[in-house]
Structure 1
Amino acid sequence: MGTPDLIGLLAVVITFIPQILFYISHTLFFNISKKFKNPFETIEENYKSVSFIVPVRKEPLEYVEKLLEYVEGFKLPQYEVIIVSDDDEIVKEELFKKLHEWRSRGFNAWLIWRRRPIGFKSGALNTGLYASIGDYVFPLDVDCRPEKCLLGKSMGLMEKNPSVIGVVGRWEPLDLRERLSQAVGLTMKAMVEILFKGRSALGLSVFPLGTGTVFKSKPLKEELKGWDINRIQDDMEIGCRIIGKGYRIEYLDNCKAYVEVPSTYKSLRIQQSRWAYGATDVAISRFKDLMTSPQRPIGKIEALTFLLQYLPAMLAFLGTIMLATLSLITRKDYIMKYYFVFATWVISQGLYGYALYSKINSVLNNRWDTIVNIGRNAAIAAALTPYLSWSVLKALLRLKITYKRTPKGVFERVESRARIPVEFITGSALFTVSIYLLLTGGVLTGLWVLLQSLGYLYVSYRWPDSVFKS
């Protein structure tokens, strides 16, 4: 076997094997999740003092006010809302005036303005945590709408079980009116349910979510010393240390936390790039915490796999580029040569697709709409791979990045300038290569490259404002 053939084999392996493992593991969790029986169904609601910590920076003011109205509707006996602002002084003054109005009505809300936003969101959470006086803390993004029972049942559960210091509610998309938010929101909902129910059914601790998780305040302050300001993925990072110290985070399936999903491709690109870097960075920095934790070996392996969830996308992107380039040079169909690997990928992807179909169709109750949403999400996922790959690579190389919040509301659609359309250029190049390969006999490799190109081109056509403008 010559050097080109070895490179071809390597390209096939890194393109398909990580994806196969991803699909198989998620399919197994899907089947395991069917056996999930909520052990906390009958937990009584127990309302103790709670501090809502709301970090804000470049958030629409109306979002802040709507959140305050929502919390007010809970009619809680003991609460406080701590807004931690990293905005400029003009926005700070607007927030102060608005909160002054609320306080004059008897609503217990406070504003903390950070002149120097050290640690970005994690730093803001720490500021709110150490200023709080509640027995429990509930970090909230301004677009999160948790059900009241999530508070009461979480507190009731943690009051009864000292080893549980965090409770995660059932993640739900808040608004599904846009094509992108519906496709992404329904897929995320399905994956969260599969993973969280599957882990719970196996008796494993789950990871907290950045918004929608209630924490016990004392251990967060005294043992964990708050969030690590050197990590940008606050939820996964603190989850690793909670698990590492032998505590548990439980999943509460019967109480929901509704969260806004990005409605523009640009916002999604910013969000997913940050998440890809953050998850990989946590996998490296908190590896010791996971491996020395008292949980079972399967829990350690699964937790690490969860943190490395963006690695298959990076490897598939790099492998596809290698296959396309090598096939052009050697005129060999390397996917055809190792067809059994591709066949395994097709089967595993089909099983995973059925799991997603079952979950999404249970919401939409329309077969065609379900298939369209799955296809749309697959196209979006393909178009994001260059950005995810770059983010994962920077995390692996231990390069620092600037924290970018996901734009919301009016900030999603602000005017922007022209940018290099990476999606359109990549899609056009792959499409051209795929046609050449198909015409010269590289059937399977050509079809694979063509399939990848269509995702880029679809996103470029459907959301040109996000592709051709920054």
Structure 2
Amino acid sequence: MLATIAFAIYLACCAGMLLYGINCYVLVFLFKKTSARKNPRRHLAELPKVTTQLPIYNELNVAARALRAIAAFDYPAHLHQIQVLDDSTDETRTLIDRTAAELRENGIWIDVLRREIRTGYKAGALADAMPAAHGEFIAIFDADFVPAPDFLKQLLPHFTTEKTALVQARWDHLNRDASLLTRAQCIGIDGHFGIEQPARCGNRLFLNFNGTAGIWRRSAIDDAGGWTADTLTEDLDLSYRAQLKGWHLEYVPEITVPAEIPETYSAFKSQQFRWAKGSIQTAIKLLPQIFRSDLTAFAKIQTVFHLCAYGMHALMLAVALLALPAIAYLGGGIPPYILVIFIIPLLAATLGPSVLYMVSQHSLRPADWKKTILLLPALVLLGFGICISNTRAVLEAILGIRSGFVRTPKRGENTSNNYAPSASLVPLLEISAAAYCALTLVIYARHGEFGILPFLTLYAAGFALVGICSLREQFDARKA
């Protein structure tokens, strides 16, 4: 009985992975259909007042760099207010005060806002700062972003209608070549900004503010209910609430803002955990309202894929863990038609995203996309390797377990002030999962079922890579 239930769950997870893989092809098709679309612009007869918000929490390595970049905007000083939302508890506070004082001497309008308690974390800081914001438009940057001086003048003309709530720029990467880990992550991020965002924007599907490197219309934030801290992805939450209110979001890929990619496995997993948990929290919060809305059936389906994308990691983990019971259920031999059911979803789940990433690299980096694609196996291993951490995030969201907003450590140009990763048992679970998948691989090989072995190899290698590297980082941090 238990084996039958396990096999049924296995098949259900395979079906989910198959649908996800197919939707990657759908997004590529939608992107190609509208790739020639030019983002509309309008002439600004009069420059509006803008508030740029810089939320900061213990960002000693990058805070001054970000603040100086924002202060260098080519925009009239009396029309540009800078709000530094500083919740820091370390020496970052002193650095910000010193930098702000220096910039004020040059006529820059800077307000440093501080709170005694980090209520609501980043979302709370943004919400608390709104009453003191003077701008008609609100630009937001995380501390590791370095916008160009013409950022405001480039992005503001894309508010072409009174119902345009947001204009989002594309992320680029300051430390792409720091390591194999950063190069692999860049391919994944480029997939989102090179295919997913333009596909959704060009086809008038719901898309999202990415939390930074974008400009909001102040009235849209207020109309949508403002910033709320009941999810870990306040940016995604506000984006969807605004669009449900009838506002439109625009994405402008030709305007880029470089930022740092996490350089450690622990930082990468922490960032992914926050995005995974927050997106599922947002799905639970808003999908009922989306289903009741007057969106088309296709648009509603796409919101499900968008908000629940990180659920794929839970399905992938379930497939890995249930592969061994599955062969036991089938008596040690898998009929060819069952083997096809096993392999096709795994192929779709692996090849679908891979095609999306290849097309994005060809679109964004035509000069060296073939060279970049050679790094795709590293990204695939990362995707398998973070299944346990992200599945935990998904389960916590479903179970309503609350957790704080854990910022992603930034290195900046200062390598001496490194924020150490916290101790975690997850790497041990990942290494154990690698051993389990290796055992499963051996058993399948002994039964002559070679078709599924490449996928089990990816699982074992991915878990081992992420687990061992994460554990090594923890040991190195203890020694330092």
TM-score normalised by L of structure 1: 0.90
**Could you tell me which residue of structure 1 aligns to residue 63 of structure 2?**
64
Shift of 1:33: 0.8
Residue pair 1:246, 1:294 contacting (<8 A) in 2 also? no
Shift of 1:42: 4.6
1:304-359 deviation per Cα after TM superposition (whole angstroms, max 9, x unaligned): 22010011210120122022244357653558552232343365343542332233
Q: Distance in 1 between matches of 2:207 and 2:347?
A: 28
Question: Which of 23, 27, 30 is residue 28 of structure 2 equivalent to?
Answer: 30
Q: 1:357 to 1:233 in 2, by over 3 A?
A: same
Q: Distance in 1 between matches of 2:64 and 2:241?
A: 33
Among all aligned residue pairs of Structure 1 and Structure 2, give the percentage whose two residues are the same amino acid: 18
Residue pair 2:266, 2:421 contacting (<8 A) in 1 also? no
Aligned residue pairs, count:
465
Q: Distance in 2 between matches of 1:284 and 1:185?
A: 29
Structure 2 counterpart of 1:76, which letter? Answer: Y
**Could you tell me which residue of structure 2 aligns to residue 236 of structure 1?**
236
Residue pair 2:65, 2:146 contacting (<8 A) in 1 also? no
Q: 1:284 to 1:71 in 2, by over 3 A?
A: same
Query: Could you list the runs of 5+ residues in structure 2 that have no partner in the other structure?
Result: none
Q: Does 1:314 align with 2:314?
A: yes
* More displaced 10-residue stretch of structure 1: 251-260 or 24-33: 251-260
Q: Distance in 1 between matches of 2:464 and 2:442?
A: 15
Q: 1:411 to 1:313 in 2, by over 3 A?
A: farther
Structure 2 counterpart of 1:197, which letter? Answer: P
Shift of 1:202: 1.6
**Could you tell me which residue of structure 2 aligns to residue 200 of structure 1?**
201
**Could you tell me which residue of structure 2 aligns to residue 186 of structure 1?**
187
**Could you tell me which residue of structure 2 aligns to residue 256 of structure 1?**
256
Residue pair 1:24, 1:352 contacting (<8 A) in 2 also? no
Q: Secondary structure at the match of 1:338?
A: helix
TM-score normalised by L of structure 2: 0.88
Q: Does 1:112 align with 2:119?
A: no
Structure 1 counterpart of 2:318, which letter? Answer: L
Q: Does 1:450 align with 2:457?
A: yes
Structure 2 counterpart of 1:436, which letter? Answer: I
Q: Distance in 2 between matches of 1:411 and 1:316?
A: 38
Shift of 1:402: 1.9
Q: Secondary structure at the match of 2:176?
A: coil
Q: Distance in 2 between matches of 1:449 and 1:26?
A: 22
What RMSD in Å do the two structures reach over aligned CA positions?
Answer: 2.7
**Could you tell me which residue of structure 1 aligns to residue 323 of structure 2?**
323
Residue pair 1:327, 1:333 contacting (<8 A) in 2 also? yes
* More displaced 10-residue stretch of structure 1: 265-274 or 455-464: 455-464
Shift of 1:137: 0.3
1:147-158 aligned at under 5 Å gives the runs 147=148, 150-158=151-159
Residue pair 2:316, 2:384 contacting (<8 A) in 1 also? no
**Could you tell me which residue of structure 1 aligns to residue 376 of structure 2?**
374
**Could you tell me which residue of structure 2 aligns to residue 100 of structure 1?**
101
Q: Distance in 1 between matches of 2:294 and 2:402?
A: 31
* More displaced 10-residue stretch of structure 1: 421-430 or 322-331: 322-331
Q: Distance in 2 between matches of 1:234 and 1:400?
A: 14
* More displaced 10-residue stretch of structure 1: 339-348 or 364-373: 364-373
Structure 1 counterpart of 2:450, which letter? Answer: V
Residue pair 2:3, 2:329 contacting (<8 A) in 1 also? no
Structure 2 counterpart of 1:393, which letter? Answer: L
Q: Secondary structure at the match of 1:34?
A: helix
Q: Distance in 2 between matches of 1:315 and 1:412?
A: 38
Q: Does 1:401 align with 2:400?
A: no
* More displaced 10-residue stretch of structure 1: 16-25 or 31-40: 31-40
1:377-392 aligned at under 5 Å gives the runs 377-392=379-394
Query: Could you list the runs of 5+ residues in structure 1 that have no partner in the other structure?
Result: none
Structure 2 counterpart of 1:433, which letter? Answer: T
**Could you tell me which residue of structure 2 aligns to residue 140 of structure 1?**
141
Residue pair 1:81, 1:108 contacting (<8 A) in 2 also? yes
Q: Secondary structure at the match of 2:386?
A: helix
* More displaced 10-residue stretch of structure 1: 267-276 or 146-155: 146-155
Q: Does 1:357 align with 2:353?
A: no
**Could you tell me which residue of structure 2 aligns to residue 13 of structure 1?**
12
Q: Does 1:131 align with 2:132?
A: yes
Q: Distance in 2 between matches of 1:412 and 1:381?
A: 29
Q: Distance in 2 between matches of 1:295 and 1:260?
A: 36
1:211-264 deviation per Cα after TM superposition (whole angstroms, max 9, x unaligned): 02210112323x234211222211111011101111111112221232221111
